[in-house]
Amino acid sequence: MSKDDNVGFIVKNTKTGEVINVVLTDETVVTGRLMPGYEYGKKDHIVIKLNNGYNIGIKIERIKSIHLISSTNLENKTSSYKNVKYVNGNNHFSNTIRLTDSDQPKILLLSTGGTIASKIDYRTGGVTSVLSAQDLYSSVPEISDYAKIDTEILINEYSENIGPNEWNLIINKIVEKINLGMYHGIIISHGTDTMSYTASALSFVLQNIPIPVILVGAQRSSDRPSSDASSNLIGAVICASRLDYSGVFVVMHSGMSDDVVACHIGTRVRKNHTSKRDAFRSIDVSPVATIKKNQIYLNHEVVSNIILKKRSVEYEKGKVKYQIFGSRFDNRVFLLKYYPGFNPMLIEYVVSQGNKIVIIEGTGLGHINKNCISYLKKAIDLGVLVFMTSQCIWGRTNMNVYDTGRDLLKIGVIPLSNMLSETAVVKAMWLLANESNYTSIIKIMQENISNEIIPISHIL
């Protein structure tokens, strides 16, 4: 009997949601509710939800038989979880034991929506955002090899709909959960489209957090054979539970091979491909670490050259009350991507509408057509702050090289080195909401707070 037949055999006797007794080959009995993991997860596992709320994955080859107990309510049944014997070895069945291992790190998986939490809607043919963090966990039972995982749905949005309001919701939830003192790391599942903007927002507000906060997503929905949901999530769990450093990171598939994921600095990562699994790239710096075959490989040169804090060992419930660095965002910030033929009258409008900061994504080292200069000067004279980034993406601004740059500097345009324009917009929104003094905003915009400016260009 082939593996698929085997799965068919096991599952044909029961339905998702039913409470079952699973008798294993060593006579252990596990009781729980059959989860939908089977439908879109690994074909060699079933996933059942235990009475205590945890899910476990059970390898098909360890199952002797399945018996239906109830098609409705698990809560009144006695879980046979305690009867499960310790199984030594590297197979996934050992998960069932590790759940009681009090040394295992505890992770919170917070769901916000996106492809990692989506599947194909077979009615419309499109992908819709439907899976909860709980479902996600069910579809990748291997994650319980690495940590005990609590799940919570915060919002359910495609990331193009996530902005300053949602950043605040996410931040408030993270702070609330950090201050419980019980988690070794927090994972945010998030759509990939604006993941880097959210990662920047979290990076500025959540400075000096005691644990890692990992954003994770998928370029392909978890019910597609080529999905990166599973490997990305496993990588995120490994980083959240074992990375030595705290801070905000993005964990996504890396280009090197199928099973390598990269851990990027939250302020220096960019989605650089619409559909490839290895779309995310660290810009002007290498990832902090790569995760391969469940091992974390730190990039020591990067780690030693950027602002990174060790994970706090003092961190215990009640001991550290984590303070945040201003959680609001003021969106009176305009990002202007310059292009030839651009009509500079727009600058006047943007100012008239009450915008306080303009980020110019200029050309090359930080340039814009000379016909914009008088408009920018007028804006600056009215108190608007104008900063310069580059549409080149890689490399830093340098406005001292050419006449145009020097003319822009003279009227008060402020270059932002190699800060990504996406990061600059978020940093500006954060400062505008939390600093009333414009001199401070100008100063802090140019300072390196969360690795948004990489001082040494050779960390590649």
Residues 273-312 that bind a second copy (CB under 8 A): 273-276, 279
Catalytic, 151? Answer no
348, 378 in Cβ contact below 8 A? yes
**Rounded alpha-carbon distances, angstroms, from residue 145 to 98, 163, 258, 270:** 7, 34, 20, 30
Is-contact 383 438, C-beta < 8 A? yes
Neighbouring C-beta atoms of residue 314, cutoff 10 Å: 7
Are the beta carbons of 155 and 112 closer than 8 angstroms?
A: yes
Smallest distance from a second copy to CB 402, Å: 6
Question: Out of 187, 243, 358, 426, which residue is the one contacting a second copy (CB under 8 A)?
Answer: 426
- Listed in sequence order, the residues at least 6 apart from 341 whose beta carbon sits closer than 8 Å to its beta carbon are none
CB of 389 to a second copy, least distance (A): 10
271 is catalytic: yes
Nearest-Å Rg of the Cα atoms of the chain is 25
- Min dist. Cβ of residue 370 to a second copy (A): 5
Q: Select 164 or 326, whichever has its Cβ closest to a second copy.
A: 164
How far apart, in Å, do the first and last CA atoms of the chain sit?
Answer: 50
Q: Report, in Å, the least distance between residue 217 CB and a second copy.
A: 10
- Residue 32 near residue 66 (C-beta atoms within 8 A): no
Known catalytic membership, residue 330: no
**8 A C-beta contact, residue 205 and residue 327:** yes
Cα distances from 342 to residues 362, 368, 442, in angstroms, run 12, 10, 26
Residues 220-279 interacting with a second copy (rule: CB under 8 A)? 271-276, 279
Using CB under 8 A as the binding rule, whether residue 128 contacts a second copy is answered as yes
- Please work out the total of residues on this chain that contact a second copy, with binding judged by CB under 8 A: 75
Site residues for a second copy, 323-352, by CB under 8 A, read 329, 331, 333-335, 337-343, 345-346, 349-350
Under the binding rule (CB under 8 A), the answer on residue 205 touching a second copy is: no
Instruction: Tell me the sheet residues that pair with 280.
Output: 271
389 in catalytic set: no
Which range in 155-163, 291-299, 304-312, 378-386 contacts a second copy by CB under 8 A?
A: 155-163
Site map 18..57 versus a second copy, x via CB under 8 A: ----------------------------------------
397 binding a second copy? (CB under 8 A): yes
Q: Taking a C-beta distance cutoff of 8 angstroms, is the pair 296, 243 a contact?
A: yes
Site for a second copy in 363-392 (CB under 8 A): 363-371, 390, 392
One-letter amino acid at 38 equals Y
User: Which residue out of 192, 194, 198, 267 is catalytically annotated?
Assistant: 192
User: Looking at the annotation, which residues are catalytic?
Assistant: 115, 192-193, 271
